[in-house]
Structure 1
């Protein structure tokens, strides 16, 4: 793998979806230049910025100044930070403010924030006036490499994570790498779990590159831009093949069935567990479960665990503060997963590093036995 020749250059990754194709732009200074970019690509549109209180305080003014400079009418809708914002009550508030501001169907909802804001704002854009324009401006590593790309939008239910939503593609993604320097180490690590996922799914060469270069990704510069661009290309290719997850797009859920169950078990309390941490533990569990079933070499399961541990990510239930419940509680959450089909459990399992596959109709008894062993390790 080669690094880009100019670390300050803007990298463009296309998402090929016919008439609904769009670009992911990756690089420094994209928020400062957002007004000019939006004016050129979406002339005459008004903008509704949806952001959370934390991100808005850090980057909202810069975006508004950029829009002002381009002569774009705009409003700001602010929501509380955190996973608890992805719920009906907050969706209603966002929708009401869009309508009260007389935003038209052709205008743009701009999601300035991490995955929570992107999911919430995208769902609002999908349903207001039967579909407004939509631009993603992801400000977390996790959102830049995963949730901002591919059109999954939605909110959580008391029954589980992301169970209410729609596939709704953005018209553009602006991933400003400068904003990642404002993330806490914990938030950046959580996003890195999704970067590692792309290597673990089907790119062992990328995983090996990450093992050698992860420190550079954390420091910034060329390695960081390369990791983001490689991740986005991987996701864009899968989305182009399988937009609505009827086939191999499900591979992108490696670690998510276990991880979502753990998020539900902790009540979506980000003080205890954030999404990327749940994915990290979930991926480690997917590898351990695969090894237990005789599918994956134990050495590969240990190799991936060792890398995530070196980065500082959790890989065990014992790494989650507080109680996560018993086997019944975790199984209930797993059985609410979106990948359950006619009651049959579907997991993303693996035959080794970069050799993941979709396993349908997984024996619930085997899952229960595995979870009992995992709980016993706490």
Structure 2
């Protein structure tokens, strides 16, 4: 969820403040890579399910999401308004305050009016509440807080109102508890940047990356990736981004990598550290649930999340993947190239498409995907030709095996 717009996570807002760009630019840059990543995960899980001959639940046993939306659609209103404010150019602080205030109004107002059976009364109530809140645009946030205070007072005299207020208090406590690490990390941003600058760590490390990058940008990226993965082992994503962005991101920027792309590069690999052995905190947290060893889960996680290791490199070599110049056609082309590469590598790391893959098929697919990822002359043409060859021959072989099985 930290990499998926429109909301993303706390790191995205810290990044916007750090590099002094609007949050919408961060969200735009993250959109295509996030869609590619989640599509890749779905694709690989689907292939693994096919390989294991798993089938889904009958439709009547699956929960109906539309029924849930129809029943509680009004709870989505604050989310849509929050997204609208963020993309209209409002600051995250302003958008967050308005979103939280509207969430409180919707929850407390629902506790009051849902006890009323008359549909007309409900409509009048929500219209009146909306008109009162509209005073915010003329009189400021005080109007919204006044509306919340009025609703809280009414809740004391409504059946189930006190229980709702108790839940709201618990939610506020949990929100404050979870915000403490974020607040501490934000407070330490300047301290960490000052330390790495005054001690010379930043300049030494950046100089080493620059020296390597003058001859080979790929090696500099690999070195930066390893640094982010090591620093991210056991460290939450927020302090991890703060440290790596102050040390590694400036070096990438000096090598000609666009500003947002360089920061997104270290951000992505800081998050991927949760899946990377030997620490892999997320995998070891999943181990008791899956009743399996954390190391085994982490090895599977790397295979399933292979797109997360590929996309940042592709974005550096072709910033159009993050909508950083190049135009519409360049973006469409790099998305097509990334989709084919990630799809092919998903197949070879799963070992199954229409049939189980032979070893030579895996090698062919690996070379095809690697050629599409590389940014060298003729590598794209070679990659597309090899990918087409891989798919056609595998489809022909699967069809032949199926026909032989039917004859037997």
> Normalising to structure 2: TM-score of the pair?
0.25
| Bigger Cα Rg | 2
Q: Which has the higher helix share?
A: 2
Q: Which has the higher strand share?
A: 1
> Normalising to structure 1: TM-score of the pair?
0.27
